[in-house]
Amino acid sequence: MIRLFQLQEYCLRLMGHNDDMDSTEVRALSLKHISSLIFVISAQYPLISYVAHNRNDMEKVTACLSVVFTNMLTVIKISTFLANRRDFWEMIRRFRKMHEQSLKRMFRSASPTQRNGEGLDYVAEANKLAFFLGRAYCLSCGLTGVYFMLGPILKIGACRWHGTTCDKELPMPMKFPFNDLKSPEYEVCFFYTVLVTVVVVAYASAVDGLFISFAINLRAHFQTLQAQIENWEFPLSKQDTQARLKSIVEYHVLLHSLSSKLRSMYTPTVMGQFVITSLQVGVIIYQLVTNMDSVMDLLLYASFFGSIMLQLFIYCYGGEIIKAESLQVDTAVRLSDWHLASPKSRTSLSLIILQSQKEVVIRAGFFVASLANFVGICRTALSLITLIKSIE
């Protein structure tokens, strides 16, 4: 059986994090916890130095700014995780426990045919999807980083193969306060860039992967709640009715609580994702349009553009499915045999309807994580392409 959030946990452990905090107190941050943050922040200096040194070359400036913005977004994600790391681990444990409970409940209530796989378990299916998306996203980020790293190596190898000389290039547009194009400084800077890329990919895979996994799990639990309400057989004995009502209300309250907690944890990240992605779209579109004649550069920036848009899509899609499924609880109550319930039970069901009519929205300020906003940014990107080509 797939262990929930396994890939994201591996990425966090690679960065020195462990689920070993005491549940009653928050442990102080150690050097290993903040070393990744300091390391990524340190990369801003050579990146900004490169922008300042080439301020008269728009092509080089925009090429570097796309990396600067990515680095800034990683700083926000690392800071968000460090500030809320206890909440992150608690959410992981909570969803794992809820998954185990749903499996036990399914095996207790399911028929032999359903146990053989013909029955539908929303949580189990959701976790398969979350595992697939998390792995695909990690692979996408990793391949983009590898492509950046391999570019200079392939260029040097091609020059040596043809017996020609070529200037050394770092994987990222950086300028250090020393000559970084001669040995051994070049090798040291190259290794430094590789380490920064590993940290960026690891935290992006962990923080973004956890968000989409949490969102998919919440959707599955909202769907499970809807199925429980729709399949409620009335009338039951008074004791059974009270027990069932209590279970449904507590489940509903828990899901709203987890949704609110998720929104609170990811508010800085969602804000940073929308603001920085909007800036990145501008500079990368400029690079794409001005490098149409270079296949290698076109592939590089196209893959980079796809990677940042995938990051934004993860948050927009996650916010959309949580909002949509939370509103469907209202519909589930209306589709149930509520008219067969006792007057007291109907009152309780009406309160569930009122609660479910409040949208569970993942927002940060005036930015709302929704597919409508994602489509809006895509349209802006297409408009920029048209604008830049008309100017040229």
Instruction: Give the start-to-end residue ranges of the domains of the chain.
Output: 5-104+123-391
For residue 36, the Cα-to-chain-centroid distance in whole angstroms is 19
Please name the residues in contact with 237: beta carbons below 8 A apart, sequence gap of 6 or more: none
Q: What is the distance between the alpha carbons of residues 248 and 68, in angstroms, rounded to a whole number?
A: 48
| Phi–psi pair at 98, nearest 5 degrees | -65, -35
Please name the residues in contact with 94: beta carbons below 8 A apart, sequence gap of 6 or more: 258
The model's pTM? 0.87
Check: CB of residue 301 under 8 Å from CB of residue 148: no
Q: What is the distance between the alpha carbons of residues 169 and 153, in angstroms, rounded to a whole number?
A: 9
Residue-wise pLDDT tens for the chain (392 aa)? 467 888 898 988 888 888 765 544 445 667 777 888 898 999 999 999 999 998 888 888 888 888 899 899 999 999 999 999 889 999 999 998 888 877 766 655 544 444 443 334 788 888 888 888 888 888 888 888 887 788 788 877 878 788 777 777 888 888 898 888 888 888 899 899 999 999 999 999 999 999 999 999 999 999 988 888 888 777 667 777 788 888 888 888 999 999 999 999 999 999 999 999 888 888 888 887 777 777 777 777 787 788 888 889 999 999 999 999 988 888 888 888 877 777 877 888 888 888 888 888 888 888 889 999 899 888 888 887 777 767 65
CA distances in angstroms from 244 to 199, 241, 321, 324, listed in the order given: 47, 5, 26, 24
